[in-house]
Protein backbone atom coordinates (compact mmCIF):
# COMPACT_ATOMS: atom_id res chain seq x y z
CA UNK A 1 0.00 0.00 0.00
CA UNK A 2 1.30 3.42 -0.83
CA UNK A 3 -0.64 4.87 2.09
CA UNK A 4 0.19 3.17 5.39
CA UNK A 5 -1.35 3.52 8.83
CA UNK A 6 -3.57 6.45 7.97
CA UNK A 7 -4.88 8.03 11.15
CA UNK A 8 -8.59 8.77 11.13
CA UNK A 9 -10.66 10.51 13.79
CA UNK A 10 -9.39 8.09 16.43
CA UNK A 11 -12.90 7.51 17.72
CA UNK A 12 -15.06 4.51 17.07
CA UNK A 13 -17.50 4.66 14.18
CA UNK A 14 -20.64 6.57 15.12
CA UNK A 15 -23.99 4.83 14.99
CA UNK A 16 -26.68 6.52 12.84
CA UNK A 17 -28.37 7.67 16.08
CA UNK A 18 -25.21 9.45 17.23
CA UNK A 19 -24.89 11.40 13.97
CA UNK A 20 -26.54 14.72 13.28
CA UNK A 21 -28.93 14.75 10.29
CA UNK A 22 -26.31 16.17 7.89
CA UNK A 23 -23.74 13.54 8.80
CA UNK A 24 -26.33 10.78 8.65
CA UNK A 25 -27.34 11.85 5.13
CA UNK A 26 -23.65 11.88 4.18
CA UNK A 27 -23.10 8.35 5.50
CA UNK A 28 -26.27 7.06 3.85
CA UNK A 29 -25.09 8.43 0.53
CA UNK A 30 -21.78 6.57 0.90
CA UNK A 31 -23.54 3.37 2.02
CA UNK A 32 -25.68 3.56 -1.13
CA UNK A 33 -22.56 3.72 -3.29
CA UNK A 34 -22.83 7.47 -4.01
CA UNK A 35 -19.83 9.68 -4.66
CA UNK A 36 -18.78 12.73 -2.65
CA UNK A 37 -17.60 15.66 -4.76
CA UNK A 38 -15.33 18.58 -3.74
CA UNK A 39 -18.03 21.17 -3.04
CA UNK A 40 -20.35 18.78 -1.19
CA UNK A 41 -20.68 18.95 2.57
CA UNK A 42 -18.40 16.46 4.35
CA UNK A 43 -17.41 15.83 7.98
CA UNK A 44 -14.15 17.55 8.89
CA UNK A 45 -12.63 14.19 9.87
CA UNK A 46 -13.36 12.77 6.41
CA UNK A 47 -11.69 15.75 4.75
CA UNK A 48 -8.59 15.68 6.96
CA UNK A 49 -8.15 11.93 6.72
CA UNK A 50 -8.42 12.04 2.95
CA UNK A 51 -5.79 14.79 2.73
CA UNK A 52 -3.47 12.62 4.82
CA UNK A 53 -4.16 9.54 2.73
CA UNK A 54 -4.12 11.05 -0.76
CA UNK A 55 -1.14 13.21 0.19
CA UNK A 56 0.84 10.22 1.43
CA UNK A 57 -0.12 8.31 -1.67
CA UNK A 58 1.07 11.19 -3.90
CA UNK A 59 4.34 11.58 -1.97
CA UNK A 60 4.96 7.84 -2.42
CA UNK A 61 4.61 8.14 -6.18
CA UNK A 62 7.06 11.06 -6.25
CA UNK A 63 9.66 9.57 -3.89
CA UNK A 64 9.12 6.22 -5.63
CA UNK A 65 10.85 7.65 -8.69
CA UNK A 66 14.18 7.72 -6.85
CA UNK A 67 15.00 4.01 -6.43
CA UNK A 68 14.28 3.41 -10.12
CA UNK A 69 15.80 6.65 -11.34
CA UNK A 70 18.99 5.21 -9.91
CA UNK A 71 19.13 2.72 -12.83
CA UNK A 72 18.05 4.84 -15.81
CA UNK A 73 21.62 5.66 -16.83
CA UNK A 74 22.75 2.09 -16.20
CA UNK A 75 20.01 0.11 -17.93
CA UNK A 76 21.47 -2.84 -19.85
CA UNK A 77 20.03 -1.87 -23.28
CA UNK A 78 18.66 1.23 -24.94
CA UNK A 79 15.19 -0.35 -25.06
CA UNK A 80 15.25 -1.16 -21.33
CA UNK A 81 16.38 2.39 -20.67
CA UNK A 82 13.53 3.90 -22.72
CA UNK A 83 10.99 1.65 -20.95
CA UNK A 84 12.31 2.49 -17.49
CA UNK A 85 12.29 6.18 -18.33
CA UNK A 86 8.64 5.94 -19.42
CA UNK A 87 7.78 4.04 -16.25
CA UNK A 88 9.43 6.60 -13.98
CA UNK A 89 7.68 9.40 -15.89
CA UNK A 90 4.37 7.63 -15.22
CA UNK A 91 5.13 7.69 -11.49
CA UNK A 92 5.55 11.46 -11.68
CA UNK A 93 2.19 11.62 -13.49
CA UNK A 94 0.55 9.50 -10.78
CA UNK A 95 1.89 11.85 -8.14
CA UNK A 96 0.40 14.80 -10.02
CA UNK A 97 -3.07 13.23 -10.47
CA UNK A 98 -3.12 12.56 -6.73
CA UNK A 99 -1.88 15.98 -5.64
CA UNK A 100 -4.69 17.50 -7.74
CA UNK A 101 -7.22 15.25 -6.02
CA UNK A 102 -5.88 16.32 -2.61
CA UNK A 103 -6.03 19.99 -3.60
CA UNK A 104 -9.78 19.75 -4.21
CA UNK A 105 -10.04 19.23 -0.42
CA UNK A 106 -8.67 22.69 0.29
CA UNK A 107 -4.96 22.05 0.85
CA UNK A 108 -2.43 23.74 -1.44
CA UNK A 109 0.27 21.98 -3.43
CA UNK A 110 2.93 23.98 -1.63
CA UNK A 111 1.60 22.94 1.78
CA UNK A 112 1.75 19.29 0.75
CA UNK A 113 5.27 19.70 -0.61
CA UNK A 114 6.41 21.53 2.51
CA UNK A 115 5.06 18.75 4.74
CA UNK A 116 6.85 16.10 2.70
CA UNK A 117 10.14 17.98 2.72
CA UNK A 118 10.00 18.64 6.47
CA UNK A 119 9.22 14.97 7.17
CA UNK A 120 5.83 15.81 8.67
CA UNK A 121 4.00 13.76 6.05
CA UNK A 122 5.12 10.21 5.26
CA UNK A 123 5.55 8.17 2.12
CA UNK A 124 5.52 4.40 1.73
CA UNK A 125 8.17 2.51 3.72
CA UNK A 126 9.15 0.51 0.61
CA UNK A 127 11.02 3.38 -1.04
CA UNK A 128 13.53 3.54 1.80
CA UNK A 129 15.24 0.37 0.58
CA UNK A 130 18.16 0.53 -1.86
CA UNK A 131 18.11 -0.79 -5.44
CA UNK A 132 21.47 -2.53 -5.67
CA UNK A 133 21.37 -4.39 -9.00
CA UNK A 134 19.48 -4.31 -12.30
CA UNK A 135 17.41 -7.28 -11.07
CA UNK A 136 15.97 -4.92 -8.45
CA UNK A 137 14.21 -3.07 -11.30
CA UNK A 138 12.47 -6.34 -12.05
CA UNK A 139 11.61 -6.99 -8.40
CA UNK A 140 10.29 -3.45 -7.88
CA UNK A 141 7.98 -3.63 -10.90
CA UNK A 142 6.81 -7.16 -10.16
CA UNK A 143 6.47 -7.01 -6.36
CA UNK A 144 6.18 -3.34 -5.37
CA UNK A 145 3.88 -2.31 -8.22
CA UNK A 146 2.10 -5.64 -7.82
CA UNK A 147 1.40 -4.88 -4.16
CA UNK A 148 0.32 -1.34 -5.06
CA UNK A 149 -2.17 -2.67 -7.60
CA UNK A 150 -3.78 -4.89 -4.92
CA UNK A 151 -4.61 -1.76 -2.97
CA UNK A 152 -5.36 0.58 -5.87
CA UNK A 153 -7.84 -1.55 -7.81
CA UNK A 154 -10.45 -1.52 -5.00
CA UNK A 155 -9.75 2.20 -4.43
CA UNK A 156 -11.24 2.93 -7.87
CA UNK A 157 -14.56 2.51 -6.01
CA UNK A 158 -13.65 4.83 -3.15
CA UNK A 159 -16.30 7.33 -2.05
CA UNK A 160 -14.42 10.53 -2.91
CA UNK A 161 -14.95 11.29 -6.62
CA UNK A 162 -11.63 12.98 -7.51
CA UNK A 163 -9.65 10.23 -5.71
CA UNK A 164 -11.61 7.46 -7.44
CA UNK A 165 -11.07 9.06 -10.86
CA UNK A 166 -7.32 9.44 -10.23
CA UNK A 167 -7.19 5.76 -9.27
CA UNK A 168 -8.87 4.72 -12.53
CA UNK A 169 -6.16 6.45 -14.55
CA UNK A 170 -3.41 5.08 -12.31
CA UNK A 171 -4.64 1.48 -12.46
CA UNK A 172 -4.64 1.52 -16.26
CA UNK A 173 -0.97 2.50 -16.21
CA UNK A 174 0.18 0.29 -13.30
CA UNK A 175 -0.45 -2.83 -15.29
CA UNK A 176 2.36 -1.80 -17.68
CA UNK A 177 4.63 -1.28 -14.68
CA UNK A 178 4.08 -4.70 -13.19
CA UNK A 179 4.45 -6.48 -16.50
CA UNK A 180 7.67 -4.69 -17.41
CA UNK A 181 9.04 -5.75 -14.01
CA UNK A 182 8.03 -9.37 -14.51
CA UNK A 183 9.55 -9.27 -18.00
CA UNK A 184 12.90 -8.24 -16.47
CA UNK A 185 12.60 -11.05 -13.90
CA UNK A 186 11.87 -13.61 -16.64
CA UNK A 187 14.92 -12.53 -18.60
CA UNK A 188 17.15 -12.71 -15.54
CA UNK A 189 15.68 -15.97 -14.22
CA UNK A 190 16.24 -17.64 -17.58
CA UNK A 191 19.69 -16.12 -18.07
CA UNK A 192 23.16 -17.12 -16.92
CA UNK A 193 23.89 -18.56 -13.48
CA UNK A 194 24.96 -15.11 -12.29
CA UNK A 195 21.77 -13.50 -13.60
CA UNK A 196 19.62 -16.14 -11.87
CA UNK A 197 21.49 -15.45 -8.64
CA UNK A 198 20.82 -11.73 -9.03
CA UNK A 199 17.11 -12.37 -9.60
CA UNK A 200 16.94 -14.59 -6.49
CA UNK A 201 18.84 -12.02 -4.44
CA UNK A 202 16.41 -9.27 -5.52
CA UNK A 203 13.42 -11.43 -4.50
CA UNK A 204 15.13 -12.24 -1.17
CA UNK A 205 15.60 -8.56 -0.37
CA UNK A 206 12.21 -7.24 -1.61
CA UNK A 207 9.86 -9.99 -0.39
CA UNK A 208 9.35 -8.87 3.22
CA UNK A 209 9.49 -5.12 2.52
CA UNK A 210 6.72 -5.77 -0.06
CA UNK A 211 4.60 -7.58 2.54
CA UNK A 212 5.13 -4.60 4.86
CA UNK A 213 3.65 -2.27 2.27
CA UNK A 214 0.16 -3.35 3.36
CA UNK A 215 0.87 -2.24 6.93
CA UNK A 216 0.43 -4.28 10.15
CA UNK A 217 -2.80 -6.12 10.89
CA UNK A 218 -5.57 -3.57 11.39
CA UNK A 219 -8.43 -5.82 12.37
CA UNK A 220 -8.87 -4.00 15.68
CA UNK A 221 -7.93 -0.51 14.56
CA UNK A 222 -10.53 2.24 15.13
CA UNK A 223 -8.82 4.25 12.40
CA UNK A 224 -9.32 1.52 9.83
CA UNK A 225 -12.91 0.91 10.95
CA UNK A 226 -13.81 4.57 10.39
CA UNK A 227 -11.97 4.73 7.07
CA UNK A 228 -13.73 1.60 5.88
CA UNK A 229 -17.11 3.03 6.91
CA UNK A 230 -16.27 6.10 4.83
CA UNK A 231 -15.11 3.87 1.97
CA UNK A 232 -11.74 5.50 1.73
CA UNK A 233 -10.24 2.16 2.71
CA UNK A 234 -11.82 -0.82 1.00
CA UNK A 235 -10.14 -3.91 2.53
CA UNK A 236 -8.24 -4.80 5.67
CA UNK A 237 -4.45 -4.94 5.45
CA UNK A 238 -4.46 -8.70 6.08
CA UNK A 239 -6.95 -9.36 3.28
CA UNK A 240 -4.82 -7.50 0.76
CA UNK A 241 -1.57 -9.08 1.98
CA UNK A 242 -3.08 -12.57 1.67
CA UNK A 243 -4.30 -11.79 -1.83
CA UNK A 244 -0.85 -10.56 -2.81
CA UNK A 245 0.86 -13.70 -1.45
CA UNK A 246 -1.65 -15.99 -3.17
CA UNK A 247 -1.06 -14.28 -6.49
CA UNK A 248 2.71 -13.90 -6.23
CA UNK A 249 3.85 -17.33 -5.01
CA UNK A 250 2.82 -19.15 -8.24
CA UNK A 251 4.57 -16.40 -10.24
CA UNK A 252 7.78 -17.00 -8.27
CA UNK A 253 7.43 -20.73 -8.98
CA UNK A 254 6.97 -19.95 -12.68
CA UNK A 255 10.25 -18.02 -12.56
CA UNK A 256 11.95 -20.91 -10.77
CA UNK A 257 12.77 -18.65 -7.82
CA UNK A 258 12.33 -19.41 -4.13
CA UNK A 259 10.28 -17.17 -1.86
CA UNK A 260 12.51 -16.58 1.21
CA UNK A 261 10.08 -18.07 3.73
CA UNK A 262 10.66 -21.59 5.07
CA UNK A 263 7.13 -21.67 6.52
CA UNK A 264 5.39 -20.77 3.29
CA UNK A 265 2.92 -23.50 2.32
CA UNK A 266 -0.46 -23.96 0.70
CA UNK A 267 -3.24 -24.45 3.23
CA UNK A 268 -5.85 -26.64 1.55
CA UNK A 269 -8.44 -25.98 4.24
CA UNK A 270 -8.22 -22.20 4.03
CA UNK A 271 -7.65 -22.16 0.28
CA UNK A 272 -4.76 -19.76 0.85
CA UNK A 273 -1.01 -19.82 1.45
CA UNK A 274 0.22 -19.70 5.04
CA UNK A 275 3.22 -17.41 5.31
CA UNK A 276 5.50 -15.68 7.82
CA UNK A 277 4.87 -12.14 8.97
CA UNK A 278 7.53 -9.56 8.17
CA UNK A 279 9.55 -8.01 10.98
CA UNK A 280 7.21 -5.27 12.21
CA UNK A 281 9.90 -3.65 14.38
CA UNK A 282 11.84 -3.03 11.18
CA UNK A 283 8.69 -1.56 9.58
CA UNK A 284 8.15 0.93 12.40
CA UNK A 285 11.81 1.93 12.30
CA UNK A 286 11.64 2.57 8.56
CA UNK A 287 8.35 4.46 8.90
CA UNK A 288 9.93 6.62 11.60
CA UNK A 289 12.53 7.70 9.05
CA UNK A 290 15.31 5.28 9.97
CA UNK A 291 15.28 3.08 6.86
CA UNK A 292 18.49 2.28 4.95
CA UNK A 293 17.85 5.07 2.40
CA UNK A 294 15.50 7.42 4.32
CA UNK A 295 18.06 10.20 4.69
CA UNK A 296 19.11 9.93 1.01
CA UNK A 297 15.51 10.13 -0.21
CA UNK A 298 14.69 13.20 1.85
CA UNK A 299 17.93 14.86 0.83
CA UNK A 300 17.24 14.18 -2.87
CA UNK A 301 13.69 15.61 -2.65
CA UNK A 302 14.86 18.71 -0.77
CA UNK A 303 17.69 19.25 -3.25
CA UNK A 304 15.32 18.91 -6.23
CA UNK A 305 12.98 21.47 -4.67
CA UNK A 306 15.75 23.95 -3.85
CA UNK A 307 17.55 23.52 -7.17
CA UNK A 308 14.27 24.00 -9.06
CA UNK A 309 13.40 27.27 -7.31
CA UNK A 310 14.96 29.52 -9.97
CA UNK A 311 12.98 27.73 -12.70
CA UNK A 312 9.68 28.15 -10.87
CA UNK A 313 10.38 31.79 -10.08
CA UNK A 314 11.74 32.56 -13.56
CA UNK A 315 8.74 31.13 -15.38
CA UNK A 316 6.35 33.00 -13.13
CA UNK A 317 8.22 36.28 -13.66
CA UNK A 318 8.16 35.66 -17.43
CA UNK A 319 4.41 34.97 -17.36
CA UNK A 320 3.79 38.20 -15.44
CA UNK A 321 5.95 40.22 -17.81
CA UNK A 322 4.08 38.81 -20.82
CA UNK A 323 0.76 39.62 -19.17
CA UNK A 324 1.72 43.24 -18.44
CA UNK A 325 2.99 43.68 -22.01
CA UNK A 326 -0.30 42.40 -23.38
CA UNK A 327 -2.18 44.87 -21.17
CA UNK A 328 0.09 47.75 -22.30
CA UNK A 329 -0.53 46.89 -25.97
CA UNK A 330 -4.31 47.10 -25.56
Partner 1 sequence: MQNEWPLWEVFIRGQHGLSHRHVGSLHAADAEGAIKNARDVYTRRNEGVSIWVVEARQIAASSPGDKGPFYEPANDKVYRHPGFFDIPDDAGAM
The residues that touch partner 1, with contacts defined as CB under 8 A, are: 37, 39-41, 86, 89-90, 93, 96-97, 100, 103, 108-110, 113-114, 165-166, 169, 173, 312-313, 315-316, 318-319, 322-323
If the CB atoms of residues 18 and 306 are measured against partner 1, the closer one turns out to be 306
Minimum gap (Å) between residue 176 Cβ and partner 1:
9
If the CB atoms of residues 272 and 323 are measured against partner 1, the closer one turns out to be 323
What φ, ψ does residue 266 adopt, rounded to 5°? -70, 130
If the CB atoms of residues 295 and 317 are measured against partner 1, the closer one turns out to be 317
Cα four-point dihedral sign 53, 124, 116, 166: negative
3-class DSSP state of 230 = coil
Minimum gap (Å) between residue 93 Cβ and partner 1:
5
* Closest to 225 (Cα-Cα) out of 8, 5, 3, 47: 8
If the CB atoms of residues 265 and 322 are measured against partner 1, the closer one turns out to be 322
Minimum gap (Å) between residue 96 Cβ and partner 1:
5
Minimum gap (Å) between residue 296 Cβ and partner 1:
23
131 neighbors 70 (Cβ within 8 angstroms) = yes
Q: From residue 281, give the alpha-carbon distance in Å to each of 51, 122, 277.
A: 27, 17, 11
What φ, ψ does residue 160 adopt, rounded to 5°? -90, 115
57 neighbors 98 (Cβ within 8 angstroms) = yes
If the CB atoms of residues 7 and 169 are measured against partner 1, the closer one turns out to be 169
Minimum gap (Å) between residue 32 Cβ and partner 1:
16
Amino acid sequence: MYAQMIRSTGSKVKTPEEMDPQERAFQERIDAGGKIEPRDWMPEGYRRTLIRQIGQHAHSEIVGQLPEGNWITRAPTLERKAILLAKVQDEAGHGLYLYCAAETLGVSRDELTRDLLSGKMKYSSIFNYPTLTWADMGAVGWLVDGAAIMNQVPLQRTSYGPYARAMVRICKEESFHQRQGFDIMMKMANGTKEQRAMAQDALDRFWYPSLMMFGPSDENSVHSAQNMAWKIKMNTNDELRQKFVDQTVPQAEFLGLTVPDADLKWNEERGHYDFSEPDWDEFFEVLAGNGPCSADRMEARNKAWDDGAWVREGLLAHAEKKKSRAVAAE
